[in-house]
């Protein structure tokens, strides 16, 4: 048996503790205005936790060129480990994007799924100052809880949060039955979309709520390979998205042609009517 002097044992213990601490590093401290994505499962694998990821700061998203595409993260390994290899087709797996500016004149951010994909989601109702403040407080509760979590898979912007029944729990904020997401004053029926039709068929429009009203900033997409991107909205608030559903684009074109034909027929009847 090898005996070590007391000083050597103390040094070894310190080194082991240091290594353990490095392996359990907490997430990078979020900044005011950072934007997060949350994933949660209502049943099955991973249903006891939520995966939270700090994607970007709001200034980066707002300052992006209209129509430009920003590649933000690849979460394939994390999503597969937590929710299984079939995560991208699970109908019981949801994702949502949220954030806030914690200031006196609060600003809040929330997503809403496109239904169908390719058609911009209707914005939630305008929030007055009291509504924005209340919603911001709920969002900040989740962010404050997130900042205490250990980094997941060496990604210091990602963490696993155990689902709890308190305001700091993402799952509690968006999964509670009978109330809107992030409190009753938000008017956000749901910020989430699911993967029942596959990851490529789940697109989240992203909105900013401030003293000037509601602004559509753009849309978030995730590929079946776990790559998350953001497309900045075009001018005048038109969501900067691709028409992911060819049938939807074809249907819209058919409707437009039918209306044009009806208008032309009506005009000919008017012109040929006896005076």
pLDDT digits (tens, 9 = 90+) for 85-141: 999 999 999 999 999 999 999 999 999 999 999 999 999 999 999 999 999 999 999
pLDDT digits (tens, 9 = 90+) for 3-29: 444 444 443 344 343 444 445 699 999
pLDDT of residue 235: 75
pLDDT of residue 103: 96
Residue 246 pLDDT greater than 70, yes or no: no
Instruction: Answer yes or no: are the C-beta atoms of 142 and 108 closer than 8 Å.
Output: no
What is this structure's pTM? 0.80
Q: pLDDT category, 274, cuts 50, 70, 90?
A: low
- Return the bridge partners of 53, or none: 37, 158
pLDDT of residue 157: 98
Closest CA to 250 of 80, 160, 157, 118: 118
- Return the bridge partners of 162, or none: 49
Residue 149 pLDDT greater than 50, yes or no: yes
Tell me the mean pLDDT in the region 52-79. Answer: 98
Residue 60: burial class (beta carbons within 10 Å; 0-12, 13-18, 19+): middle
pLDDT of residue 13: 42
Residue 238 pLDDT greater than 70, yes or no: no
Q: pLDDT category, 236, cuts 50, 70, 90?
A: low
Beta strands per DSSP E along the chain: 34-41, 49-57, 69-74, 93-101, 107-113, 158-162, 192-194, 203-210, 213-222, 227-232
CA separation for the pair 157, 205 (Å, rounded): 22
pLDDT of residue 82: 98
Closest CA to 64 of 72, 74, 52: 72
CA separation for the pair 93, 153 (Å, rounded): 20
Q: Which of 1-15, 135-149, 155-169 has the lowest mean pLDDT?
A: 1-15
């Amino acid at each position: 048996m090898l005996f070590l002097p007391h000083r050597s044992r103390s040094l070894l213990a310190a080194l082991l503790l240091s290594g353990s601490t490095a392996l359990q590093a907490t997430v990078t401290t979020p900044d005011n205005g950072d934007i997060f994505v949350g994933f949660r499962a209502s049943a099955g694998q991973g249903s006891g936790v939520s995966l939270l990821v700090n994607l970007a700061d709001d200034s980066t998203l707002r300052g992006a060129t209209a129509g430009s595409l920003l590649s933000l993260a690849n979460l394939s390994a994390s999503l597969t480990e937590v929710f299984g290899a079939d995560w991208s087709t699970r109908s019981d797996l949801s994702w949502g994007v949220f954030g806030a500016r914690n200031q006196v004149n609060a600003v809040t951010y929330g997503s809403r799924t496109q239904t169908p994909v390719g058609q911009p989601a209707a914005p939630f109702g305008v929030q007055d100052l009291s509504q924005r403040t209340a919603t911001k407080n709920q969002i900040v509760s989740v962010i404050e809880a997130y900042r205490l979590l250990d980094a997941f898979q060496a990604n210091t912007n990602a963490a696993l949060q155990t689902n709890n029944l308190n305001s700091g729990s993402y799952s509690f904020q968006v999964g509670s039955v009978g109330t809107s997401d992030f409190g009753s004053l938000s008017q956000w029926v749901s910020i989430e979309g699911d993967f029942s039709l596959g990851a490529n068929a789940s697109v989240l429009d992203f909105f900013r709520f401030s003293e000037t009203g509601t602004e559509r900033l753009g849309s978030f997409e995730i590929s079946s390979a776990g790559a998350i991107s953001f497309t900045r909205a075009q001018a005048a608030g038109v969501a900067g998205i691709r028409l992911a559903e060819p049938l939807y684009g074809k249907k819209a074109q058919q409707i437009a042609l039918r209306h044009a034909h009806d208008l032309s027929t009506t005009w000919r009847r008017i012109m040929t009517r006896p005076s």
